């Protein structure tokens, strides 16, 4: 499903967006991407595929949200801006904001997009210390990410391989999940200099001022997070959360954007509790989020969904209301041409050195890949139903004793 043709592609060796006109890439390249998306659709639409396969050409139309969400969506903090590059640097006198990511080679190109949007839209009054947790990455890709370091925006890579080895045999993987999703569990123990930190996934764009998110007062809460739209948009997952985790789905947070109370994590032995629960019960559906939600239950600061807006739910926010767009699950604009909020992803993707790589991924995402996406989502829903019916499901055995899981009585 490759789209052929002569296209001006910026290579990795060319100068970055710092020397481009305000707003990033020149307009012809933006126009070309839009044209390329339409070309992809046009080529596919004339491919002679059966009608049922044509439904796969766009992400919307299968696996759609089947229930409304009622938790707060909007926030007045960290106003979204229509990104303007080259904002004037102010004196940074309000301290350090540590932000953590976890990735492997597959997601480093998308991390660049996230960093591009984060750097452009965040207050210049802070020093942002960016830590990329990994267990081995391509040195060439690492070098490109490190180029985002500048005054007030420091990027470093941290290898967590040794830490991972202590629990790797206990981790359950499936479909798109890799061990990187568990790296956030190590942050409190590895970085004792911080009492609070942000963790962000790599498949998102930051449209608001991230310092406003960091500024939320956690109080005695362990976590600040927004209700998971990937769960609350589908009745099957809401039922899973109720029956297996024993939690209110409206309070089930997505772990891709979280504000972490690292001091309390350390003082209360959170990692030890996690490792203990990991040995006793394997959550196979939402995995790391299951563990985090169970262990943090009743101590979660609920954030507005504008700070973690999925393209999946029925309600759509305008640019001024958005703070973070999270392209979770299979709602990837680098795979499909009709993802809500995709324009924000491409706005920042065009400004990165990885743009040719990302565009190549988009152009070469095949019908076989699309079928795999559909199959994975169908299988995940079936797994959720199966886990919900287990007589030995977590909540049935352990109830609310998330911190006292010695054995079932």
Domains of the chain: 96-322+373-398 (3.90.550.10)
Phi, psi of 49 (to 5 degrees): -75, 150
Per-residue pLDDT band at 267 (split at 50, 70, 90): very high
102 closest CA partner among 90, 110, 94: 110
DSSP 8-state code for residue 168: G
23, 16 Cβ separation under 8 angstroms: no
Read off the pLDDT of residues 219-230 as tens digits, 9 standing for 90 and up: 999 999 999 999
Pair 203, 309: CB distance under 8 Å: no
* High-pLDDT (> 70) share of the chain, %: 74
Q: What is the mean pLDDT of residues 75-89?
A: 59
101: β partners = 132
Percent of the chain surpassing pLDDT 90? 58
CA–CA distances in Å: residue 377 to residues 163, 370, 391 = 31, 11, 24
Asked if the model's pLDDT at residue 119 lies above 50, the reply is yes
Predicted TM-score (pTM) of the model is 0.82
Contact 225, 303 (CB under 8 A): yes
**DSSP secondary structure string, 39-95?**
HHHHHHHTS---HHHHGGGSSTTSS---S---S----SSS------SSPPP----S-
pLDDT, one tens digit per residue, over 226-252 is 999 999 999 999 999 999 999 999 999
Whether the CB-CB separation of 211 and 122 falls below 8 Å is answered with: yes
Residue 168: C-alpha distances to residues 181, 190, 344 (Å): 12, 17, 36
Q: Could you report the per-residue pLDDT of 96-111, keeping only the tens digit for each?
A: 999 999 998 899 999 9
C-alpha–C-alpha distance, residues 35 and 26, integer Å: 15
| Gyration radius of the chain's alpha carbons | 21
């Amino acid at each position: 499903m490759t789209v052929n043709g002569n296209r001006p592609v910026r290579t990795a060796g060319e100068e970055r967006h710092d020397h481009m006109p305000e707003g990033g890439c020149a307009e012809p390249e933006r126009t070309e991407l839009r044209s390329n998306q339409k070309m992809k659709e046009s080529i596919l639409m004339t491919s002679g595929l059966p009608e049922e396969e044509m439904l796969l050409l766009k992400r919307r139309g299968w696996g759609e949200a089947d229930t409304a969400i009622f938790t707060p969506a909007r926030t007045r903090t960290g106003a979204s801006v229509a990104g303007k590059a080259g904002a004037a640097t102010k004196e940074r006198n309000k301290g350090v904001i540590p932000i953590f990511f976890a990735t492997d080679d597959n997601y480093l190109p998308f991390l660049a997009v996230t960093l591009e949007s984060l750097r452009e839209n965040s207050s210049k009054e802070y020093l942002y210390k960016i830590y990329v947790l990994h267990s081995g990455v391509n040195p060439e890709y690492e070098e490109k990410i490190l180029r985002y370091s500048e005054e007030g925006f420091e990027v470093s890579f941290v290898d967590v391989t040794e830490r991972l080895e202590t629990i790797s045999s206990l981790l359950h993987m499936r479909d798109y999940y890799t061990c990187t999703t568990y790296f956030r569990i190590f942050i409190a123990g590895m970085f004792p200099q911080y009492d609070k930190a942000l963790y962000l996934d790599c498949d998102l764009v930051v449209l608001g001022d991230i310092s406003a998110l960091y500024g939320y007062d956690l109080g005695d809460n362990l976590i600040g997070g927004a209700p998971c739209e990937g769960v609350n948009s589908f009745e099957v997952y809401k039922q899973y959360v109720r029956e297996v985790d024993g939690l209110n789905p409206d309070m089930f947070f997505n772990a891709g954007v979280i504000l972490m109370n690292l001091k309390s994590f350390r003082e209360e032995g959170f990692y030890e509790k996690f490792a203990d629960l990991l040995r006793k019960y394997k959550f196979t559906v939402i995995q790391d989020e299951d563990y985090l939600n169970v262990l943090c239950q009743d101590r979660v600061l609920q954030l507005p969904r504008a700070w973690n807006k999925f393209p999946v739910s029925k309600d759509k926010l305008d640019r001024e209301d958005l703070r973070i767009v999270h392209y979770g699950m299979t709602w990837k604009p680098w795979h499909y041409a009709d993802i809500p909020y995709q324009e924000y992803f491409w706005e920042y993707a065009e400004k990165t050195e990885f743009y040719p790589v990302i565009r190549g991924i988009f152009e070469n995402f095949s019908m076989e890949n699309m079928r795999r996406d559909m199959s994975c989502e169908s299988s995940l829903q079936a797994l959720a139903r199966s886990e919900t019916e287990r007589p030995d499901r977590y909540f049935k055995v352990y109830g609310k004793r998330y911190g006292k899981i010695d054995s079932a009585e």
